[in-house]
Chains A and B, each alone.
Chain A
Amino acid sequence: MIDTIDGPPSEERFYLVPLSERGPAPSRVVASYGFWLFLLSDIIIFSAFFAAYAVLSTHTDGGPGGTQLFKPAHVLIETSCLLVSSFTCGVMMISIDRRSARSTYCWALLTALLGAAFLWVELTEFHDMVLLGAGPSRSAFLSAFFALVGTHGLHVTLGIAWLIAMMAQVATLGFMPMVMNRLLCFSLFWHALDIVWIGVFTIVYLGVHR
Chain B
Amino acid sequence: VIIGGVLFGAFAGYTYWFPKAFGFRLHEGLGKAVFWCWFIGFYLAFMPLYGLGLMGATRRLQHYSNPAWQPLMVLAFAGATVILLGIVLMVVQLVVSIRRRDRTRDMTGDPWNGRTLEWSTSSPPPAWNFSALSTVSSPDAFWKRKQQRTAIALPLRSITVPKRNPLGVQVAVLVALMGFGLVWHIWWMAVLGLVSALGVSLRNAWRADLEETIPVSVLTAHEDIHSTRVMRK
Contact = CB atoms under 8 A, between A and B. Distances in A.
Interface stretch (B22-30, B34-42, B204-212): B204-212
Nearest to B201: A165
Interface size class of A (residues with CB under 8 A): 10 to 19
Contacts of B205: 165, 169, 182
B208 A178 contact: yes
A1 B157 contact: no
A176 B158 CA distance: 21
Nearest to B157: A2
B208 A5 contact: no
A210 to B, nearest CB: 36
Interface in A1-49: 1-5, 23
Contacts, number: 26
Contacts of B157: 2-5
A68 interface: no
A173 interface: yes
B159 A169 contact: no
Contacts of A172: 206
Nearest to B161: A1
A69 B159 CA distance: 59
A176 B210 CA distance: 13
Contacts of A178: 208, 210
Nearest to A158: B198
A175 B56 CA distance: 70
Contacts of A3: 157-158, 160, 213
Interface in B185-233: 202, 205-206, 208, 210, 213
Contacts of B206: 169, 172-173
B133 A173 contact: no
B208 A2 contact: no
Q: Which residue, of A2, A165, A173, A182, has the highest number of chain B Cβ atoms within 10 A?
A: A2
A2 B159 contact: yes
B153 to A, nearest CB: 11
A165 B210 CA distance: 18
Interface string B151-165: 000010111100000
B158 to A, nearest CB: 6
A2 B202 contact: no
Contact of A1 (B160, B202, B208): B160
A3 B155 CA distance: 12
A55 B116 CA distance: 49
Contacts of B155: 5
A115 to B, nearest CB: 18
Interface in B120-162: 133, 155, 157-160
Contacts of B159: 1-2
Q: Which residue, of B155, B160, B210, B213, has the highest number of chain A Cβ atoms within 10 A?
A: B160
A23 B134 CA distance: 10
A165 B202 contact: yes
Contacts of A165: 202, 205
Contacts of B210: 178
B160 A173 contact: no
Interface string A149-184: 000000000000000010001001100101000100
A135 to B, nearest CB: 18
A182 B208 CA distance: 13
Contacts of A182: 205
A169 B160 CA distance: 23
Interface string B167-189: 00000000000000000000000
Given A1-B159, A5-B157, A176-B208, 15 more contacts: A1-B160, A2-B157, A2-B158, A2-B159, A2-B160, A3-B157, A3-B158, A3-B160, A3-B213, A4-B157, A5-B155, A172-B206, A173-B206, A173-B208, A178-B208
6 contacts: A1-B160, A2-B159, A5-B157, A165-B202, A172-B206, A178-B210
Interface of A: 1-5, 23, 165, 169, 172-173, 176, 178, 182
